[in-house]
Amino acid sequence: MIDKIQRLVEEMAQELSHILAVAVVTVDDGMSIAQATRREGLETAAASAYLASIVKSNSKAINLLADNEVIDDILITTAQYHFIIRHMPDQPFFLFLMTSKDEWLAKARMVIKKYEPKFAGLSDELDHLQ
């Protein structure tokens, strides 16, 4: 079961030339279920807990500001990187993607949307891991 998820993460990591990290993370506890990185020293598993708190706090803020809105994704940019967090509200997990700024942002978002249904198809298995 975890092997399927890990293979899917690795497949997703091959889609973009400037991808640095991909992870599937549980929303409740921030546990990284599967991850792939292309750069040594990235603390993807450790960062997952912090990313989960971002997902939770953004959902609360959006509920206060805009009733009945659903977050498509959370985008964080720095001088060197794009961080995209994609959480489907009915799923117990979110997808995290980190790319260098050399990556076309629209393409990175398209890749996440492409893989979203594939991971959603495994949501029962992901739910049992919690």
Q: Any idea which residue has 């990175």 for tokens?
A: 108
Query: Which fold would CATH assign to domain 2-128?
Result: Beta-Lactamase (3.30.450)
Query: How far is the C-alpha of 49 from the C-alpha of 39, rounded, in Å?
Result: 20
Ramachandran sector of residue 89 (left: φ over 0; alpha: ψ -120 to 50; beta: rest): alpha
For 39-86, the pLDDT digits (tens) are: 888 899 889 999 999 999 998 899 899 988 888 899 999 999 999 999
Residues forming a β-bridge with 98 = 21, 83
Q: Note the pTM of the prediction, 2 decimals.
A: 0.88
Q: Is 24 within 8 Å of 9 (Cβ atoms)?
A: yes
Supply angle C-alpha 91, 4, 56, rounded to 5. 25
For 2-50, the pLDDT digits (tens) are: 789 999 999 999 999 999 999 999 999 999 999 999 988 889 988 999 9
3-state secondary structure of 88: coil
Domains in the chain: boundaries: 2-128
